[in-house]
Structure 1
């Protein structure tokens, strides 16, 4: 009987996929968004309601989201009202903590910075990381425009649009093609984040500032008032959290070691047969 010779699976080439600017700004953004989210929830807890219009409603109803606590026959309960529909969210929203020491606040202490109610500290943390975020975004745009990262990996082309159905099918069956450029779904998602969500969250944040409003009053007109801007700001934050969760799932599904190596060292293991014009090594 002839011996069966087992051969090791062929590995694709290591390619230099991520520049130093992409890697550094990626991790700075991750840190900034973490602190922005938790400090933002601290600020939101000062008035856990969202409205549409120039002002919050007193003699009229214009709230789209309200988080509060009420007394019931069974004791205090946390409630969330979304577009007029009320839900019991005790233990998470409106009322959290233990039965012996309940906390009546919008989001629980575990999701805010600082954990206790402190609006002033929350605003300091939020503004520091907000301006760090903006500066990092400026650096990324300048570097990515110069090195072609935006043109090559972010801007969506007609070929990308045509490739969306196949890319959806490949993702659904966990068949990932590892190459130098991003796939259609990656391009669409990154384009939406960089050119829609990031600018929206920055501009709506500026619209909530009375000082900025006095210098740029047109922002109030663009976003339909300070309260509408606050609501859009909250919605965009929610979309960014959803993007982050999906992003992590895709990193795990596509191979976390390879993906992390790419965002730490810049080198990425491509699929067998991949050719690249730059940075290839055996």
Structure 2
């Protein structure tokens, strides 16, 4: 039989969890289609980049023209050395970028075979993969934006309030994220200010720049809409902007996945699969 001391020091029962509806069906479907599209767009995009692994500004960019970015390889005695160059800064990246193992041999190749679709060098096939999933990505994104505007998701969940964008609140949330302190209870029902601002930048800045610069690289689009070349400063500039925005999006995804894991992987995954997100009764009363 338990003693009085044991009863008095027993830990209090854990607060009961309740489930809230956090993501609609359409939000969840478009999210996972985006995951598929972005993965295959990145892999096919690296395949395309391998055909000319350097970036220029302006309208022209021949091999002999000076580039500001390059993933290249060079012969060092009997060895092949991979290098990543940004401006005058050069970094040895052998085994990952510039030179990687293909069929047991170190081979000159900008992005490694395991990261591209197809794994072997085939520009035409890479372009077909890229174009198909690019249009699927655009259609899926337009569907999400229309749903958000018409259904109230944008106004209700994504549009920052005056309180959200107050400098004191932004600074407070930056400190909370840096200290890995995430919203609980009632606060977990909605996006915080950093999430709202980040999603808006991705949706209305990064993605339009990436899509517009991608279209500008198409000679057929330039013939029909020549203003695209002026807007992006030339085809090579559009290619550079496309590369920068694509990898900025990759950085966003890395941070996003890290936050999902750190703030509760199972709870976040369940909310994006079933729509149900768990919070506690005790936390909602505070």
TM-score, with structure 2 as normaliser: 0.90
Confirm whether residue 251 of structure 1 aligns to residue 260 of structure 2: yes
Show structure 1 runs of 4+ deviating over 6 A. none
2:73 pairs with one of 69, 72, 88: 69
> What's 1:21 paired with?
26
* Offset of residue 217 of structure 1: 0.9
> What's 2:142 paired with?
138
> What's 2:161 paired with?
157
> What's 1:127 paired with?
131
Gap change, CA 1:114 and 1:159, over 3 Å in 2: same
Confirm whether residue 7 of structure 1 aligns to residue 18 of structure 2: no
Which runs of no fewer than 5 residues in structure 1 stay unpaired? 276-282
Q: Are the aligned partners of 1:96 and 1:105 in contact in 2 as well (CA < 8 Å)? A: yes
CA distance, structure 2, for counterparts of residue 202 and residue 49 of structure 1: 20
1:83-102 correspondence to structure 2 within 5 Å: 83-97=87-101, 101-102=105-106
1:1-282 correspondence to structure 2 within 5 Å: 2=4, 3-4=7-8, 5-57=10-62, 60-61=65-66, 63-73=67-77, 75-97=79-101, 101-162=105-166, 163-178=169-184, 179-270=188-279, 272-274=282-284
CA distance, structure 1, for counterparts of residue 276 and residue 170 of structure 2: 26
Q: Give the aligned CA root-mean-square deviation in angstroms.
A: 1.8
CA distance, structure 2, for counterparts of residue 48 and residue 192 of structure 1: 28
User: Equivalent residue of 1:227, what SS?
Assistant: helix
Q: Are the aligned partners of 1:12 and 1:274 in contact in 2 as well (CA < 8 Å)? A: no
How many residue pairs get aligned? The number is 274
Q: Which structure carries more relative contact order (alpha carbon 8 Å, separation 6+)? A: 1
Which runs of no fewer than 5 residues in structure 2 stay unpaired? none
* Offset of residue 142 of structure 1: 1.1
CA distance, structure 2, for counterparts of residue 113 and residue 75 of structure 1: 27
TM-score, with structure 1 as normaliser: 0.92
* Offset of residue 170 of structure 1: 1.4
Gap change, CA 1:35 and 1:98, over 3 Å in 2: closer
